Structure 1
């Protein structure tokens, strides 16, 4: 064997650099299901495990259809002397059985796994031949060159503008941004009307086929105690389904995505969101085709500029930026804890059994679907984690476990850096702070909640509001020195000493009974 081509579970694009120069007469493909990726690293949602395994098995069928030799190690298949759990151990057993002249792999998306593969190849005496991941529009080397001269924190907005110019996305004939502005954020932050969101065309959904149902049986048998449910599973697991999901979003949902991308409403899990992150992160979709489809919809008059720009910014801007940030600041990012927060997760983070209506709805939705949109993640669960002083590593592990689209390169910077400010602001300009009033503005959750968002103290005070004011009080000096949080501190300073003492006492009471909120 010349090359053993290792295809990882989030590298399912068959046009990947891994297959350049592939010769079926000399080379072989290897795919590995590993239990350690589901319960050794994080206690994964059943739907997340099922999505990865089903997509991998469908990709394996596509590889076999090309006539390429493939060794596919299933989760319950022994290799070597025993059924080893970690992916690295299973890879080591394969290399020991039949060492190739070289192990070829596209650069992994996770720091831990990249180091593990390097160690396994070195121990086996097999040359490791990594190839760049061409899925992304900005390589790791290009991001490093962009970031090198930056002083202080990195800023996504400047990166995004450069990417727009470089790839000529949403530019006019003179090379200027369409509509005369780079950013239409102000048009994309509306709440739903008081009457509710109305009728929203559903996203594409896919009935599980026989192969996926076989995976369901495996997940229920091997991971019976894991969180989440499978009865709502309708995620794309093939390239064809991913393209259908993209087409449906562009045709039926993109036009109203922009204004309501930050809106929340009870029992409305998907809103107008694209739900394409699973297909992008598994690499069943290429970001270029997603961006091109959205821009084409704008130029054909089928979607407004503000919404299209906001959608493209998430992919060309934030997604590419976050990947660069991950590789720039790992492995330190995984241990970052700027505020020295160490509280364990409340029990209801795994059940949704809380009296806070917003958290209850988001967590139960997450358990049902393995999904919550970005504002639910940032300004409901993430905000609570920050205000309550939850341990950043525990919160990041929870996010990696419960969301079907979670892979570490995108999940960790968003949680540790953006939601929790655990890195101290290496790429964000402020902690994302808010009281219950923000959730009240952006949703209908507060209407039926036992807690009142306008109250800072007392038994009916919203825990978000109580903890928000206590957070300002605790970090007053640092927040006063930040132009983006200084006004919050000025509002705090209007309270007299007795009121601030009441705030501290109320917060201590909330923190003492986190499990009972």
Structure 2
């Protein structure tokens, strides 16, 4: 006689951790549940590849558990029993199976954290919460680390993490290579050499999942090739991408991690963020794999390549999560620069004469992907220079990228990209004229606008918008030492030049379809 099910365990779509202690032993009285829900597909409009990617990864994980003897119920988006919200589905299952205990893992999104706490408060049965066993820090670690400090500069947190986990350390105090940070070696422009290997592809047929999504009436945007879906959606896939990165891309990752090119969507980037953010890969195993490969090939791979990669995961990723839990829920409402403009329509189409934006946006629509400099210094830079409301920028970034989950998206967008938090994450706004884009990319070469021209009809809009932004926000930044040089250059411009700049900037902001 089968053992009675008395315990229900919830697994969210970004909790696909194969190595979690929950799964070490079969518990015959335990039922695991995974759900595809309109609650999650509809809170913001998502890229179609993001929805497909999550559903595919969740389904693969459910099969993985079933193959190992765990009891699993999987609610597809099209299931008639699916109530499409977390509380309603859980209530139904608890009632149906006469569940005596409900367990879940800590969510990484604030809204789900609140929803599940509220749900458990209303339950008459026992509940228990577990860690996801994924991150290298707790929710509170960063808050405690910066307690009593004036600034929350990431570098000091990163160094502490290096020491704590003995990553690239010679002794307890001395980093390998004699430096903590090789960022200055990570800023090369790619001009066609060295040759970039093709990304590790999968070419999966996801037509059945797509039919279910379309039949359910879920509103999405972006493009997809249903017979050649190219993202890792299983543990096996994810390990394959990690292995491919180490063997083929790590050798030049650091050099070109900030480079931009119209013909190259991925350059030497790993494409591991989706696997990490869904927890199919653990950050420490990714770090360890990259370092192990570097140690075996030190004669070919410089330490700057691997340190640049480690910094993104051990430093930046954990840092951003810590900021999220320190500053939420107020963080999602921050708008310190009081920006109020709408996001231009071309963010949804890529139809603009500005070549850098056209390529970055079309690539995002085609692949649900852009690397950090495209996000920060192209689409993010333009949104900030045009003084777009951070809510609109948030919604776009959260929807368009396959790796975007609020804990990592909102801190990068609202903090790093839009300076909406007033300087919690960044000590100065990441804005630039066209000169930075020209320095790091080939975008300006085929553009309708002249990056070298500061004024006039065919001058680069980024040049106009940059000086207009400084003029508009001068009062806010006048006490910021890192902005002093740029503000002093602004002060040297004549009154007539400022009027000309402002007139054209207003035209760009109010009539984006013209540009």
TM class, shorter-length: over 0.9
Quote the offset at 1:17 in angstroms. 4.4
2:249 and 2:270 in contact (8 A); partners too = yes
Q: Name the residue aligned to 2:502.
A: 504
2:337 and 2:473 in contact (8 A); partners too = no
For the residue of structure 2 that corresponds to 1:428, the secondary structure is: coil
Q: Name the residue aligned to 2:13.
A: 9
Q: Indicate the larger mover: 390-399 or 471-480.
A: 471-480
Number of aligned positions between the proteins: 507
For the residue of structure 1 that corresponds to 2:33, the secondary structure is: strand
2:36 and 2:84 in contact (8 A); partners too = no
Q: Name the residue aligned to 1:493.
A: 491
Offset from partner CA, 1:275-313 (integer Å, 9 cap, x none): 000100011111111101111122221421011101000
1:65 is the counterpart of 2:59: no
1:427 is the counterpart of 2:425: yes
1:27 is the counterpart of 2:25: no
Q: Name the residue aligned to 2:240.
A: 244
Quote the offset at 1:482 in angstroms. 1.7
Whole-angstrom distance in 2 between the partners of 1:18 and 1:334: 32
**Structure 2 gap segments, 5+ residues each:** none
Q: Name the residue aligned to 1:51.
A: 53
For the residue of structure 1 that corresponds to 2:189, the secondary structure is: coil
Whole-angstrom distance in 2 between the partners of 1:252 and 1:393: 39
1:378-457 equivalent positions in 2, closer than 5 A? 378-457=376-455
**Structure 1 gap segments, 5+ residues each:** none
Quote the offset at 1:457 in angstroms. 2.5
Q: Name the residue aligned to 2:203.
A: 207
1:143 is the counterpart of 2:142: yes
Q: Name the residue aligned to 1:280.
A: 276
TM-score by length of 2: 0.95
2:140 and 2:326 in contact (8 A); partners too = no
Offset from partner CA, 1:192-232 (integer Å, 9 cap, x none): 13xx34521122111215xx442133234335752112215
Quote the offset at 1:452 in angstroms. 1.8
Quote the offset at 1:492 in angstroms. 1.1
1:158-169 equivalent positions in 2, closer than 5 A? 158-169=156-167
Q: Name the residue aligned to 2:263.
A: 267
Quote the offset at 1:397 in angstroms. 0.9
- RMSD in angstroms over aligned alpha carbons? 1.7
Whole-angstrom distance in 2 between the partners of 1:380 and 1:310: 21
1:4 and 1:103 in contact (8 A); partners too = yes
Q: Indicate the larger mover: 257-266 or 199-208.
A: 199-208
1:18 and 1:106 in contact (8 A); partners too = no
Quote the offset at 1:155 in angstroms. 1.3
User: 2:465 aligned to 464, 467, 480, which one?
Assistant: 467
TM-score by length of 1: 0.95
2:49 and 2:224 in contact (8 A); partners too = yes
1:265 and 1:445 in contact (8 A); partners too = yes
Whole-angstrom distance in 1 between the partners of 2:199 and 2:422: 37
Whole-angstrom distance in 1 between the partners of 2:267 and 2:217: 30
Q: Name the residue aligned to 1:132.
A: 131
1:167-178 equivalent positions in 2, closer than 5 A? 167-173=165-171, 175-178=173-176
1:95 and 1:124 in contact (8 A); partners too = no
Quote the offset at 1:190 in angstroms. 1.1
2:140 and 2:325 in contact (8 A); partners too = no
Quote the offset at 1:175 in angstroms. 4.1
2:77 and 2:213 in contact (8 A); partners too = no
For the residue of structure 2 that corresponds to 1:247, the secondary structure is: helix
2:8 and 2:94 in contact (8 A); partners too = no
